[in-house]
């Protein structure tokens, strides 16, 4: 399935981010069946709270008509806002984020008509188990180091 193919690319970026000590979230931007950009979180490395995987693949791009954004974790408020402004055709995410997810779990920022941007449909659950397991493992190891 096409969505699983591209989510695996995002998962690879998430794994790389985790190996660098970053929260393991990855993103892949696809247009016309071709990979345009891929990235993993780089907040620690760059000392930049906005260096989320989604933000990194969106930077330098204004309108994303015809594009699909794949991300391993449901976008947070900051990323969802940037996604709404960039207007890809859709967002496909892996794991839901019950704490801060803004593509359906907590709020639907990308589809909020009050923004006057037309809305970006989003759906999740693609390879959700693998995406969530990567995050759980990362946080479990982090807790072990902190105790």
**pLDDT for 85-122, tens place per residue?**
999 999 999 999 999 999 999 999 999 888 888 899 99
Q: Is 76 annotated as a binding residue?
A: yes
Q: Residue-wise over 20-56: b if at least 16 C-beta within 10 A, else e?
A: eebbbbbbbbbeeeeeebbbbbbbeeeeeeebbbbbb
Q: Where are the domains of the chain?
A: 2-139
Q: Residue-wise over 94-116: b if at least 16 C-beta within 10 A, else e?
A: bbbbeebbbbbbbebbbbbeeee
Q: What is the pTM of this model?
A: 0.95
**pLDDT for 74-92, tens place per residue?**
999 999 999 999 999 999 9
Check: CB of residue 71 under 8 Å from CB of residue 80.
no
54 is catalytic: yes
2-139 is a CATH 3.40.960.10 domain: no
Does 1 score more than 80 pLDDT? no
Q: Is 52 annotated as a binding residue?
A: yes
Does 20 score more than 80 pLDDT? yes
- Active-site residue (options: 13, 44, 45, 54): 54
pLDDT of residue 21: 94
């Amino acid at each position: 399935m096409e969505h699983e193919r591209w989510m695996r690319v995002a998962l690879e970026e998430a794994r790389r981010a985790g190996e660098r000590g970053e929260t393991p979230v990855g993103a892949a931007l696809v247009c016309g069946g071709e990979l345009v950009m891929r990235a993993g979180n780089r907040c620690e490395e760059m000392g930049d709270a906005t260096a989320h995987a989604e933000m990194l693949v969106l930077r330098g791009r204004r309108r994303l008509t015809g594009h699909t954004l794949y991300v391993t974790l449901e976008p947070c408020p900051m990323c969802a806002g940037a996604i709404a402004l960039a207007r890809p055709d859709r967002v496909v995410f892996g794991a839901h984020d019950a704490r801060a997810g803004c593509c359906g779990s907590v709020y639907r920022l990308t589809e909020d008509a009050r923004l006057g941007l037309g809305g970006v449909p989003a759906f999740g659950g693609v390879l959700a188990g693998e995406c969530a397991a990567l995050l759980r493992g990362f946080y479990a190891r982090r807790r072990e180091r902190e105790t």
